[in-house]
Amino acid sequence: DHVESEMRKVREQDEWIWERRLERFEPLVQSVFSARDMPKKTQNARKLRRFTVFRDDGGTVDTCILTGGSLEAPGAKVSPGVLSAISLKAQSEGPGHLLPTDVSGRRVALAKWIADAQNPLTVRSIVNRIWQYHFGRGLAVNSNNFGAKGGKPTHPDLLNYLSRRFLESNWSIKKLHRAIVLSDVYRRSVVPVDEQKLALVDPENSVLTHFRRRRLTAEEIRDSLLAVSGELVHADGGIPVFPEMNMEVALQPRMIQFSLAPAYQPSVRREERNRRTIYAYHCRGLADPFLELFNQPNPNESCELRDDASVTPQALTLLNSDFMTARAVAMSHAICCETQNTEEAIGSAFRRILGREATIAEVEQLETFMQDTRENDERESKAKEPYPIEISRSLVEEFSGRRFEYREILPKFENYEADLGMHEVSKHCRSLADVCLLLMNTNEFLFVD
């Protein structure tokens, strides 16, 4: 029967996928492989997760330039070495740019050369990249091409000063961040003193006369929303977590080796879902639409500088997405539990989201808005649809071309801790949630200026 045959393939594929996922939690071999190169057929990172004894005859295999990038087309032989254009030598004897040819010691020599205080590239490229994070543009524009062929630094003395200070602080990135954010140039206004004159003399603001307005990155937006709503979990380390994403995207069928990949299921507990975005599991074939919309880089490519384009779907997502609604409801519920009246609630929302007190005019305007919202609110009866515990999948049989269907079980949704919904709070809380959602959509919250 073709259905039974294909169902067996689906089950086998699921078993293979989940075995691969479980392998990620097994300990890696914490050592350096220094034996002869393995045959090409066994060059698999999965095989290095378990300790294996290799027979080492003490020799090395020649390294060749691969013609066209093909492993099967070796070209001219090359020796291990470092950048010859830099005056810093990798070894005292022989050609300075070559590394030792012995099996042991090559990685150590390369690491020492990279981390050498006299290396003109390493420290400066790190400092330039961190500067770019804060200002939206590095002192040298081409962060991925830092050198003679890239853009020249606009402030070379400043770059050298920060690099020297970075070295003197024992390569402390935290101290470098602190030095930058406490500097005068970081605290300057986004409004130039003489805008017309500056447009003629320095339209790109290369001399840093004023601060270049910067929108929060995708990860910063998500973490900030969780932080102001009081839901962000600050735990360090641990295994990757699965944040909640748009259900249409999470449950969409994804082909993987003649079968369908398992549907994306978020972590069951809120404490896991609401961790910082840096701990979120990344699936290369399934990007989080919220983060992708705000220009999170593609993990398959090297990103020199993130795009900061503002498009209409961003505004629609910030107003209408389930993620934003859940954050607004969580915040309004927390504020309602600790305030006595509408004025106090509005003031608390301003302090949490914008970090300032609300003006008298803002309070009066929002009190009127909340009153109108309560009078016209009909959201109490609109409960959120329950999460599915199984979904129907459809595939085409590989050889006959006949279609068959099967059910995929979603076990995580059976005991899922859902976020607080609009229908679960009072009308006062729902009107305050609309105010919180409004403040979360302001440029004052989304931009650094």
- Element of type H or E holding 392: strand 390-396
User: Which residue from 231, 248, 410 is spatially nearest to 327, judged by alpha carbons?
Assistant: 231
Task: Indicate if the pLDDT at residue 295 is higher than 90.
Answer: yes
Residue 228: CB atoms within 10 A of its CB come to 22
- How far apart CA 40 and CA 44 sit, in angstroms, is 9
Single pTM value for the model: 0.84
- How far apart CA 243 and CA 245 sit, in angstroms, is 6
Question: Which residues is 241 bridged to in the sheet?
Answer: 280
Confidence of residue 393 (pLDDT cuts 50, 70, 90): confident
**DSSP output for 314-359:** HHHHHHH-HHHHHHHHHHHHHHHHH-SSHHHHHHHHHHHHTSSPPP
Bridging pattern class, strands 214-215 and 390-396: unpaired
Domain extents in the chain:
28-99+106-115, 122-212, 218-448
How do residues 17-67 score in pLDDT, each as one tens digit? Answer: 778 778 777 776 666 655 555 555 555 555 555 555 555 555 667 788 989
And the tokens for 236?
């360090």
Percent of the chain residues past pLDDT 70, beyond the cut: 89
pLDDT at 37: 59
How do residues 317-365 score in pLDDT, each as one tens digit? Answer: 999 999 999 999 999 999 999 998 999 999 999 999 999 999 999 999 9
Asked if 381 and 422 count as a contact pair (C-beta separation under 8 A), the reply is no
How do residues 67-118 score in pLDDT, each as one tens digit? Answer: 988 888 889 988 888 888 787 877 766 677 787 777 677 788 888 889 988 8
